[in-house]
Amino acid sequence: MTNQSIDNQSIIATSRCDSDVSKPLMPRYDSRQAPSEYSVVSLFSGCGGMDLGFQGDFSIFGQHYAKNPFRITWANEINAAACNTYRRNIDKNIHHGDIQDYLATLPSTADVIIGGFPCQDISINGKGLGINGKRSSLYTSMIESIALVKPKVFVAENVKGLLLQSRKASFDKIMEDFGSLGYQVSYALYHAADYGVPQSRERVFIVGTANGISAFQPPKPERTKEKWMTAAEAIADLELLEVDESINHVWSAANASHDQGNRRLDANRPGFTIRAECHGNIQFHYSLPRRISMREAARIQSFPDNFIFASKLRETERQVGNAVPPILAWHIAQAVKDCLTIKTL
């Protein structure tokens, strides 16, 4: 396994598993026969941040993110409230429940599998159980799904904590298991602000490409640190707006906490990482005497304003915090598209 830096912001490593009789024989795909649309299976879909990014065709911050050639054909999420939001904004056909209960219903084939497997046991703010934890061990369900469906490409997302030295054993095991499927597997650490997301958020993406598919090349950052979008640029137009539940412009009245939630946005910098389990203690507005609203949090995560969360405040906090920023996912999708369309020899 080798390492190299990406513009001093990201890390990429690639591993190739030699074929032998102990490993599954993956079919060889011919990218010279690229279809106009690619089918996508979505695992651990949440409210649909990654799915929206892969679909494309949304607008935010005065920019339109073009439609991508990806169609979600099957999705699964265990959280009922997140499923309601997904149905409202992405597609009504999402399977609610434990992924293990739905493996038998997976389509026989799909071009791409995507998913942000649960990270609570890997997160810096978690208990440090790694893949031995009940939630983070669910990556094995993604392994099973890939083995069953045999996509051309898979994309798995997780927290930066996966790369900590203290999580090395977990990370090595995850990479080994993904690699054992017969794919060319690489990983990279991305800072969302480099891609136009007004948030200081770093996430790992693990990508696997099948034989005959071009190796995945991480999308190049669009912004330097000096040009990151600030919190004020993202949400200033909402400052004078009264509470409006119809667009999720509601906020927690929780007092400052000794444990977490005392941070106040800096108007001139990107927002802090939006957390899923903030228990109402989400960051404070940079100028107003309140915490940020769910609409403002959604903006900081790069959700367009017409993406409405079909839940009350606490559940919406969880959905926003758990999501992959759609803009970052859109850039990943563009790179996946390149994998599928660039001709190989």
Residue 276 domain flag: no
Look up tokens 């839940």; give the residue: 311
- What pLDDT digit, counting tens, does each position of 98-107 carry? 999 999 999 9
Number of other CB atoms surrounding residue 20 within 10 Å: 7
Number of domains in the chain: 1
Beta partners for 77? 96
Q: No. of H helices and E strands in the chain?
A: 8, 11
Domain containing 162 equals 2-225+325-341
Residue 65 domain flag: yes
Is the predicted pLDDT of residue 207 greater than 50, yes or no? yes
Q: H or E segment at 2?
A: strand 2-6
- Higher pLDDT, residue 215 or 261: 215
Quote the pLDDT of residue 6: 45
* Least confident interval from 30-44, 233-247, 304-318, 328-342: 30-44
Q: Catalytic positions, please?
A: 119
Tell me the C-alpha to C-alpha distance, in Å, between residue 345 and each of 22, 210, 342: 27, 14, 10
Residue 261 domain flag: no
Scanning the chain, the segments in alpha helix (DSSP H) are: 49-55, 80-89, 139-149, 168-179, 231-235, 294-300, 313-322, 326-341
291 CB contacts (<8 Å, ≥6 apart)?
251, 252, 253, 254, 261, 280, 281, 282, 283, 284, 285
Are 275 and 124 contacting, i.e. CB atoms less than 8 angstroms apart?
no
Beta partners for 188? 12, 205
> Which has the closest alpha carbon to 77: 49, 117, 45?
45
DSSP output for 160-205:
GGGGSGGGHHHHHHHHHHHHTTT-EEEEEEEEGGGGT-SB--EEEE
* Least confident interval from 128-132, 189-193, 307-311, 335-339: 128-132
Task: Tell me how far apart the alpha carbons of residues 295 and 290 are, in angstroms, rounded to a whole number.
Answer: 14
Residue 46 domain flag: yes
333, 113, 146, 144 alpha-carbon torsion, rounded to 10°: 130
* Least confident interval from 112-121, 196-205, 303-312: 112-121
Q: 312: which 2 tokens?
A: 């009350």
* Least confident interval from 29-38, 162-171, 293-302: 29-38
Task: Tell me how far apart the alpha carbons of residues 335 and 341 are, in angstroms, rounded to a whole number.
Answer: 10
Task: Tell me how far apart the alpha carbons of residues 301 and 94 are, in angstroms, rounded to a whole number.
Answer: 22
Residue 196 domain flag: yes
pTM, rounded to two decimals: 0.89
Residue 302 domain flag: no
Residue 301 domain flag: no
Quote the pLDDT of residue 5: 38
47 CB contacts (<8 Å, ≥6 apart)?
82, 85, 86, 89, 309, 319, 320, 322, 323
CATH classification of the domain holding 124: 3.40.50.150
Residue 287 domain flag: no
